[in-house]
Amino acid sequence: MSSRRSPVPLPMRDGVAASYLWLPEGQWPDMITFLVERYPQISAAQWQDRMARGDVVNGDGAVLAPDSAYRRGMRIFYYRELERETPIPFQEEILFQDAHLIVVDKPHFLPMTPAGRFVQETLLTRLKKNLDCTELTPIHRLDRETAGVVLFSRQPASRGAYQTLFQRREVHKVYEALAPHLEGRDFPFTYRSRMVEADQFFLMREEAGEANSETIIDVIERRGDMSLYRLQPHTGRKHQLRVHLAALGIPIVNDAFYPLASPCEEDDMSQPLQLLARAIAFVDPLTGEPRRFESRRSL
């Protein structure tokens, strides 16, 4: 079977690739009726404007009109657009790049990829625009609230080799976090727990059962009534470090989710989460050489 991908009929625009949707089973009189029902946050007038600009097409690149027939199984392409997007006033820094990898020092508050209320103000979009690299893809991810080192793949041919390193847990990651003192423990120690999705959207929680998450915790230094911790996760569960420290009774400074979710203040960037992806190290699967990259940021 050929590994070549079908061409996308809409080009990347302002660093954002076109989104697509396979039309599901159902009966709708025309395309705009379906689109308004599928995406109620986008008005009929907005869809009409996009279609008039030629920004909604089928897989062959033919422009779709509001009265175009709805056909189950057809794939349509369109651009995500936001009327208003909160500017992120912090800048990423490229630490390293070659033909295969780009290593970036991500600031707090900058999302990794387009989602929800962010499209342009994301690390992936910024890099695609600045580097004119349409194939750029994150190899792993950091939370929007977390700063530090993250890797991107420049080309599909070598992407799998680097992704496999993470799947096999052959990547050594070191984080730093500022949190209250933890008394009564000998450092370093390993914390393990079973983490599952919480009932509340987007959050995680611990439950009884076989552990599926593991973090080595050490103290770097004391800072008044806080400690700077070195965290080395052996597993990569969502929000793992935040959940583990909260469970120990030392939630990370400015964590708005753990141990209790606070009222959302999405545009407040005055109190960044005190969590930093300090360093990442691995043996390069293409060259066999050891690699280590370290953030230039500090908590």
> For the segment 29-62, what is each residue's pLDDT rounded down to a tens digit?
999 999 999 988 889 999 999 999 999 999 999 9
Average pLDDT over residues 229-253: 97
Asked whether the predicted pLDDT for residue 4 surpasses 90, the reply is: no
State the Cα–Cα distance between residues 65 and 57, nearest whole angstrom: 9
Measured between alpha carbons, how far apart are the two ends of the chain, in Å?
A: 50
Question: Model's pTM, two decimal places?
Answer: 0.83
% of the chain exceeding 70 in pLDDT:
96
Task: Summarize the confidence of residues 101-118 as an average pLDDT.
Answer: 92
Residues in the chain: 299
Is pLDDT of 112 > 90? yes
Catalytic residues: 143
Q: What is the pLDDT of residue 264?
A: 62
Residue 291, beta-bridge partner list: 282
| Residue labelled with tokens 């080799």 | 161
Give Dmax over CA atoms of the chain in angstroms. Answer: 69
Q: Is 255 exposed, middle or buried (0-12, 13-18, 19+ CB in 10 A)?
A: buried
Predicted confidence at residue 2, as pLDDT, reads 35
Q: CA dihedral defined by 94, 238, 263, 222, rounded to 10 degrees?
A: -70
Q: Is pLDDT at 102 greater than 50 in this prediction?
A: yes
Residue 62 is given by DSSP the state P
Under the banding of pLDDT at 50, 70 and 90, the label for residue 120 is confident
